[in-house]
Structure 1
Amino acid sequence: MSADAQLYEEAFTITALAPQAYDRVTRLLATSTDATTSLTLDINSELYPLQPGENITFLLAQTLNLDGTIEDVSKKGWRPSKSSGGGGGNGGMGESTLADLWDYVCYGKVYRHEDVGEGGNIKVYVSFGGLLCCLDGPYKKLSPLRIDNVYMLLKK
């Protein structure tokens, strides 16, 4: 996959789970393995349960296409259609995508950037259909996230 299509990838350790306000939604708090970035993320805990102490890999990408090509999802949606035929090892549902390699995938909108001002850190806020994400870390690492839409991918 094109390095430009992968905007941010980091390993995190889950430090805590916030008290649940909604059924099937967990807000997790995590710190990157190099301790420079913090992650606050809402996930569907029924689909992807996580616990404090677990390690996850977190990726934000512009596309799910393995060749890095970016498609216009506003016309067809972000999921491949069931009629897209072809091989690819995913049940005849079209070509393989980056999503086949990860456990949990969401599509969302980057809706806010906030300069924290201390040591060159920024905060990036993303909404995945109401499930929210906040990354707080060095500007140099998070500056590629100054785009509109992203795919979030998680795996243990």
Structure 2
Amino acid sequence: MSTDAQLYEETFTVTSLDPGPYDRVTRILATSTDATTSLTLDVNSELYSCQLNENISLLLAQTLNLDGTIDDVQKKGWRPTAGKAGSDGQTLADLWDYVMYGKVYRHEDPGSGGNIKVYISFGGLLCCLDGPYKKLSPLRIDNLYLLLKK
């Protein structure tokens, strides 16, 4: 896959799980293995469950196409891209355990130490990444895919 289509990839260790007030939704709090980035992520707990101190890999990408080509998802949605990207019909989603499509809706620069916060919405399930500007600056696009695996 083209590295230009991969915006951010990191391994996190789950530090807290909050089932919260909603059925089938768990808020995951995690820290990157290099301890520079924190992740707050809502997931459907029926589809993807985690344990404390478990490592999870996260990838944020512009496309599910294995060759890195970017489709115009705005016009046709993400589902039509699944199954057409590779010659065998395989997409990036087939290689990961959990996939969401969402929109980056806010960047916050607290102004101390070069860290920024990036907020992403996945149709009600939210994500916040807090880390170094250098690592998170590629997330200045509107729409992206979040992929998780253990």
TM-score normalized with structure 1 length:
0.91
Q: How does 1:65-144 map to 2 (within 5 A)?
A: 65-80=65-80, 88=88, 95-144=89-138
What's the Cα RMSD here?
1.7
When residues 60 and 82 of structure 1 are mapped into structure 2, their CA distance, relative to the original with a 3 A threshold, is: closer
CA distance in 2, matches of 1:135, 1:108: 14
Structure 2 alignment gaps of length 5 or more: none
Encode CA deviations 1:49-80: one digit per residue, 9 max, x unaligned. Answer: 11111100000000000111100112221013
Kindly tell me the number of residue pairs found equivalent between the two proteins: 149
Q: Percent of aligned pairs with the same residue?
A: 79
Larger mean CA deviation between 131-140 and 73-82 belongs to 73-82
Encode CA deviations 1:88-135: one digit per residue, 9 max, x unaligned. Answer: 2xxxxxx21100100000000000000021110000000001100000
Q: How does 1:33-44 map to 2 (within 5 A)?
A: 33-44=33-44
Encode CA deviations 1:3-44: one digit per residue, 9 max, x unaligned. Answer: 010000000000001241100000010000000000000000
TM-score normalized with structure 2 length:
0.94
